[in-house]
Amino acid sequence: MTTNVVMPQLGESVIEGTVGKWLKQVGDDVKLYEPIIEVITDKVTTEIPAPASGTLLQILVGEGTTVNAGTVVGVIGESQTADGSQQATVASNQSPVSSLQSPVSNLESPSSRNRLTPVVARMMAEHNISSAELAAIQGTGEGGRVSKKDLDAFLKRRAPIAAPEKIQTQAPRQAETVAAPARTIVPPVTDGESEIVPLTTMRRAIAEHMTRSKQTIPHVTSIHEADMTRVLAHMRAQQAEFSKQGVKLTYTAYFAQAAIAAIQATPFVNARYTEQGIVMQRAVNLGIAVALEDGLIVPVIKNAEEKSLLALARGVNDLAARARAKKLAPEEVQGATFTITNYGIFGSLFGTPIIPFGTTAILGVGAIQKRVIVVDDAIAIRPMVYLGLTFDHRLLDASAGDQFMQRFTDFLETYA
């Protein structure tokens, strides 16, 4: 008996995924719910558990391939016997796989062929592949769709880079087709002194989102400073109690509380600019930036305004841990209305973070350091932190941004 490993639908709006890495190879033993495959979408990278125990008999979709949700990507079954009886079982089980894929493959229509995956769209932008060239490529994907493998084969046999005039006339149409600007491609270095490291899916997504934000949103950054004495005292007094409940209390929970209080005082910071008008958002969905080995991800605490300090701390710990373990669901990295990024954990004093596209502001938190300041006309040493608010100048003026920061810093400095 065999069990199909199926590409899951990771979220309501996610209809496909890319096989990032197989965590097991053909012939490896697999336990039920053990991570077996790493799946990448444009929102999140996550590990998919095995639907059954047994042996990984077949890998049907290779690493780097994008397929629709519901596609069979592998087969788990019992170990093959010496007489090959299990091989026959596997062969007989291929008919369900074929029957699942055949209806899609028979949809040889222009609409299905022209529906590009994010990977193919990015490759078109990088290599200046025109719509005419795309139409000439024989697609081997579902519904005749052009796949990454098809584009790789096309690029290997493609003539040298087209003349500058041709690229220039195609660039605007290319940007409209794939929603990405034409890029200058640096040829691979072959002198032995440098190497080309392929971009990961996450790094490409970060690059595209950040570029889109900077090209669309007029950024303004305001730097403020806060005395963390009261917060430190409260954290020391509460750490033991929080630990009893299995929660590690960190500065991030306090910054989240301060952001909620400041947003409630200046709600336009939690709004969103559109050409049709300002979208006022009732819920405060806090995005908390988490650094990973290969990039940055922003899991979201939904309805943060309803949560206590304990609940916020628990949420921060849980999301950060699951982000690093690649256990987040796509919906857990969507819907942020305000973002906090704590680059101070790496020693940075202050910075000018880029606004996540679709929101209005992001707060950057620097390192907390003891500094000499003047308090009531006397010199004092206090734990201080620089806070940088970067906001969309289309929606917020400097006065609104500074009002938000005044409420933010007041909340921290008067914490009780």
Quote the CA–CA distance of 208 and 215 in Å, as a whole number. 11
Residues 131 and 83 in one domain: no
Residues 186 and 271 in one domain: no
pTM for the model: 0.65
Q: Rounded to the nearest 10 degrees, how much is the dihedral formed by the CA atoms of 357, 358, 361, 367?
A: -50
Residues 229 and 317 in one domain: yes
- Residue 233 covered by a domain: yes
- Residue 298 covered by a domain: yes
**Do residues 284 and 336 lie in contact, with contact meaning Cβ atoms separated by under 8 Å?**
no
**Do residues 31 and 114 lie in contact, with contact meaning Cβ atoms separated by under 8 Å?**
no
Quote the CA–CA distance of 91 and 166 in Å, as a whole number. 50
Residues 187 and 262 in one domain: no
**Do residues 401 and 220 lie in contact, with contact meaning Cβ atoms separated by under 8 Å?**
yes
Residues 68 and 173 in one domain: no
pLDDT digits (tens, 9 = 90+) for 333-366: 889 999 999 999 999 998 999 999 989 999 999 9
Choose one of 86, 104, 122: the last residue of a domain: 104
- The confidence score (pLDDT) of residue 54 equals 92
| 393 counts as catalytic | yes
- Residue 380 covered by a domain: yes
The answer for residues whose C-beta is within 8 angstroms of residue 272's C-beta and 6 or more apart is 278, 279, 281, 337, 358, 359, 360, 395
Q: Decide the pairing of beta strands 2-6 and 45-49.
A: unpaired
- The confidence score (pLDDT) of residue 183 equals 46
Residues 97 and 171 in one domain: no
Q: Which of 28, 29, 152, 397 is catalytic?
A: 397
- Residue 209 covered by a domain: no
The three-class DSSP label of residue 279 is strand
Stretches in the chain below the pLDDT threshold 70: 10-14, 42-43, 79-128, 130-132, 142-143, 159-192
The three-class DSSP label of residue 56 is strand
Domain count, the chain: 3
Q: In what order do the strands lie in the sheet with 35-40?
A: 45-49, 35-40, 16-22, 66-68
Beta bridge mates, 5: 74
- Residue 33 covered by a domain: yes
Residues 313 and 391 in one domain: yes
Q: Which domain holds residue 115?
A: 111-198
- Residue 55 covered by a domain: yes
Which CATH number fits the domain that encloses residue 70?
2.40.50.100
Quote the CA–CA distance of 355 and 389 in Å, as a whole number. 10
- The confidence score (pLDDT) of residue 180 equals 39
The answer for residues whose C-beta is within 8 angstroms of residue 379's C-beta and 6 or more apart is 372, 373
Q: Which of 318, 393, 402, 410 is catalytic?
A: 393
Residues 123 and 180 in one domain: yes
| 397 counts as catalytic | yes
- The confidence score (pLDDT) of residue 143 equals 65
Residues 270 and 379 in one domain: yes
pLDDT digits (tens, 9 = 90+) for 195-210: 888 887 778 888 888 9
Distances (CA, A) of 131 to 65, 68, 113: 22, 23, 12
Choose one of 104, 123, 140: the last residue of a domain: 104
Residues 233 and 320 in one domain: yes
Give alpha helix (H) positions in 179-296: 201-216, 229-244, 251-265
- Residue 210 covered by a domain: no
Residues 69 and 177 in one domain: no
Which CATH number fits the domain that encloses residue 347?
3.30.559.10
Sign of CA dihedral 268, 270, 273, 279: negative
Residues 249 and 159 in one domain: no
Select from 78, 94, 8, 96 the least CA-distant residue to 49. Answer: 8
| DSSP per-residue codes, 171-185 | HHHHHHHHSS---PP
Compute CA 154 distance to the chain's CA centroid, rounded to the nearest angstrom.
30
- Residue 206 covered by a domain: no
- The confidence score (pLDDT) of residue 8 equals 84
